[in-house]
Amino acid sequence: MQAHLATQEDDMWYVITDGSIKILKNRTTTTSVDDVPKMIEKPRYEWSTKDKRKVNLNNVAKDILYKMLDKNMFSKIKSCSTAKEIWENLTQLCEGNDQTMENKLMVATQKYDSMKIKSGEIMMDFEERFTNIIIELSTLGKTYSNREVNMKVVKALPRE
């Protein structure tokens, strides 16, 4: 049973990253010089229960991806027809291309550089804002040493 689940999970990931699974069978006649049978698409009426499950994985994957999204993100991908298309759009929206990543890093760096405690802000709230910026920078590939982070916190505090 465990091997069956691993295969189904692998097939699911394949559907998301590479596209729908086509059900193939060996062509009964060989047309190549080396007598290697060619694969052709299996007619729907010949599909086994296992074949039907594999073909349906695209629908299952789409359903899972849809359920993971909030209304805002769903509205951006609802026109996609395959799980692969949804995944590619989500990747683009969330990660972006190199230019997008560079822009995100620049904005996050500017936030870090201009970080100051707000008037009336308690230290716990400041720490949360600061930590979020550090995490954002880290996910974009920019890290600071503990010394740099500590110095930044000290400089962000008011003189009094």
Of 40, 69, 94, the residue at which a domain comes to its end is 94
Give the pLDDT confidence of 128-141 residue by residue, as tens digits: 999 999 998 998 88
Q: How do residues 9-41 score in pLDDT, each as one tens digit? A: 788 888 899 988 888 888 776 555 666 668 888
Q: From CA 13, how far away is CA 42, in angstroms rounded?
A: 22
Same domain, 89 and 111: no
Range of the domain at 129: 98-156
Q: Indicate whether 86 and 105 sit together in one domain.
A: no
Asked which of 94, 112, 134 is the last residue of a domain, the reply is: 94
Q: What is the pLDDT of residue 35?
A: 65
79 with 109, same domain: the answer is no
- Together in a domain, 28 and 70: yes
The reported pLDDT for the residue numbered 1 is 44
Cα separation of 107 and 75, whole Å?
Answer: 26
Lowest mean pLDDT among 18-32, 35-49, 85-99, 134-148: 18-32
Number of structural domains (the chain) is 2
DSSP alpha helices (H): ranges in the chain? Answer: 2-18, 49-67, 71-77, 83-94, 98-113, 123-139, 146-156
Q: Are residues 12 and 90 in the same domain?
A: yes
